[in-house]
Amino acid sequence: MRGRIAVAVAGSVAALTLFAGPVGARIGPEVAVIDSRAVAASVGIISRVPAESPGGLNWTTTAITLDKAVAKAAGGTAGSLAETFFRSSSKDYRNPSLIGAQYPPTATIPAEARGGSPPGTPGGIAATHVVATDQPAATASAQGARGGDGSPVVVQGGSSSSHGELRPDGAVVTRAVSTATGVSIGGGAVTFSSATTEAVTTVPPTGPATTALTVTVTGLLVGGVPARLTDQGLGLSDQVPVGAAQLAAFNAALSQLAARGITIVAAPAVREVGAGRARAEGGGMVVRYRVADQIGGDEEFVPAEARSSSTLQRAAPASPLPVPELPSVSQPVPGPPATASPLAPPAASGAPEVPSPPVGIGEATGGAGPSAALGPPAAPPGAGSGATAGPGPASAAAPVAAGPAAPGRPALNLLGRTDDRAERRLRTGYGVILLLAFAGTAIHFGAQRARST
């Protein structure tokens, strides 16, 4: 029986090893949580009508979790919430520039895709590429140009890329990069040559997490006058002397922005690190545009927007399985509980109760009872009351009454052998439980592999 159990367990381990091979993502059992998210856009757009929905032009995003790796890109999109709302509102709505990839792939989402958008679609002319692999890793890229269509922010060209991966050394790395060139805001009141933002977050399996954020804006002009940007808004550059005519042009441009309900401030730089997590966000600037005089009636534009976040949590070591306590071979098997004779007199208070013998025992021992059999022998017939009985053959040959063992003393093993049936049953049951556990694990991994293929 033990040999058959060992063979079955070995077969289950072999099946488990087969299914646990290099199939699907390479996330080991020591990883409890993995989350990598990157978002980048030449111009990030956050619409708040009817609810906040982040999107943008030349927009890319990637995400990696324990379940899958996802990558998306679009020449232009109002965000996932807006896309869902538009699709549910009209069956004719479609965004030809929006593509996606996923690993493991599905019947509708491949592992790699390429796309683009013809002139006239949201975001203008764009080229997009997305790919997801079993590393796990996800990459998305988009680049294109946008013509003037009445928007407060117009870019002549731009690109973005998002990337996330679990490196072979076990570190989670997320990177978002965006660039906007030839940007005009408020009908030309504010222009700049280019803006580039790069946000990188890294969380290693051991050691502290790190962030890196770089924002560069070149050629910033307000009314054609060199300017600088702070969290308080636009100001004259302190690097170039400004005359009266230039100051007037600068103020006229600010008035033009105010008339259109446009405010411009520096984008906040976010760098956060913690235990197993890191986040970095930034952009060239934040442009707020009033759409309607009501709550949520505004839009927010962020040229060269980039967001990156990484999370990695390792699993706690598993506790070992408890080892069952098997009964000792030398431990005697307890006998049946003792039952007191109905003829026995009640025991005195504080004295142990002695059970009476069955009927007939007194006759066999000459009416002396068990106490006589275990104690000194009775006096022979004809002896006087003063005779003292000594030890003799009768006491050695007297039978010992069978009964339960006294407390603290082992029971008698009358058959001279050890009853190990309980021990054998326990070991057999424990082996069956282990076999079922291994078989269940193998079936689970087999089902995952079937879904992946």
- Would you put residue 58 in left (φ > 0), alpha (ψ -120 to 50) or beta? left
Please state, in angstroms and rounded to a whole number, the distance separating the CA atoms of residues 270 and 274: 13
The reported pTM is 0.63
**What confidence tens digit (pLDDT) does each residue in 66-76 have?**
999 999 999 88
The residue with greater pLDDT, 28 or 127, is 127
Report residue 50's pLDDT band, with 50, 70 and 90 as the boundaries: low
Lowest mean pLDDT: which of 11-15, 163-167, 314-318, 404-408? 11-15
Helix, strand, coil share of the chain (percent; to 5): 20, 35, 45
Amino acid at 83: E
Lowest mean pLDDT: which of 59-73, 232-246, 350-364? 350-364
Average pLDDT on 109-113 reads: 95
**Residue 284: its pLDDT value, please?**
92
The residue with greater pLDDT, 264 or 387, is 264
**Residue 436: its pLDDT value, please?**
84
CA atoms within a 13 Å half-sphere pointing along the CA-CB vector of 279: 7
Report residue 25's pLDDT band, with 50, 70 and 90 as the boundaries: very low
**Residue 386: its pLDDT value, please?**
43
Domain parsing of the chain, residue ranges: 37-314
Amino acid at 335: G
**What confidence tens digit (pLDDT) does each residue in 152-172 have?**
888 889 999 999 999 999 999
Among the listed residues 138, 137, 110, 140, the one whose alpha carbon sits nearest the alpha carbon of residue 127: 140
Report residue 277's pLDDT band, with 50, 70 and 90 as the boundaries: very high
